[in-house]
Amino acid sequence: MQREKSQKFALWRRQLGREKELWFWTLLFLVWWVFFFLIPLYGIVYAFFDYTPGRALTLDRFVGFKNFISFFQTRDAWMIIRNTLVISTLNMTVGFIAPIILALQLDELRQGLFKRATQTISYLPYFVSWVVVASIVTTLLNSDGVVNEVLMNLGLINKPIAFLTTGKYFYALITCVTIWKSLGWSTILYMSAIAGIDQSLYEAGAVDGISRWGMVRYITIPCIMPTIVLLFILNIGNFLNLGYEQNLLLGQSTTQEYWEIIDTYVYRYGIQMGRYSFSIAIGLMKSVIGLILVFVSNAIAKKYTEYSIM
**Proportion of the chain above pLDDT 90, given as a percent:** 18
pLDDT value of position 157 = 83
Task: Name the more confident of 110 and 39.
Answer: 39
pLDDT value of position 178 = 92
pLDDT value at 16 more than 80: no
Average pLDDT over residues 60-72: 86
Q: What is the pLDDT confidence band of residue 100, given thresholds at 50, 70 and 90?
A: very high
With a CB cutoff of 8 Å and minimum separation 6, the contacts of 151 are 157, 161
**Class of domain 78-276+292-304 as given by CATH:** mainly alpha
Start-to-end CA distance of the chain, whole Å, equals: 38
Handedness of CA 89, 250, 180, 143 (dihedral sign): positive
pLDDT value of position 7 = 67
Q: What is the pLDDT confidence band of residue 302, given thresholds at 50, 70 and 90?
A: confident
DSSP codes of every residue in the chain: -HHHHHHHHHHHHHHHHHTHHHHHHHHHHHHHHIIIIIGGGGGGGGGGEE--TTS-GGGSEE-TTHHHHHHHTSTTHHHHHHHHHHHHHHHHHHHHHHHHHHHHHHHH---HHHHHHHHHHHHGGGGS-HHHHHHHHHHHHSTTSHHHHHHHHTTS-SS---TTT-GGGHHHHHHHHHHHHHHHHHHHHHHHHHHTS-HHHHHHHHHTT--HHHHIIIIIHHHHHHHHHHHHHHHHHTTT---SHHHHHH--GGGHHHH--HHHHIIIIIITTT-HHHHHHHHHHHHHHHHHHHHHHHHHHHHHSS----
pLDDT value of position 1 = 56
| Separation CA 96–CA 301 (nearest Å) | 16
Q: Tell me the pTM.
A: 0.83
Task: Name the more confident of 253 and 307.
Answer: 253
pLDDT tens-digit readout, 124-177: 889 989 999 999 999 999 888 889 899 888 888 888 888 888 888 999 999 999
Q: What is the pLDDT confidence band of residue 3, given thresholds at 50, 70 and 90?
A: low
What angle is formed at CA 173 by the lines to CA 172 and CA 179, rounded to 5 degrees?
A: 90
pLDDT value at 5 more than 70: no
Q: What is the pLDDT confidence band of residue 2, given thresholds at 50, 70 and 90?
A: low
| Separation CA 120–CA 153 (nearest Å) | 32
pLDDT value of position 98 = 92
pLDDT value of position 47 = 87
Task: Name the more confident of 57 and 30.
Answer: 30
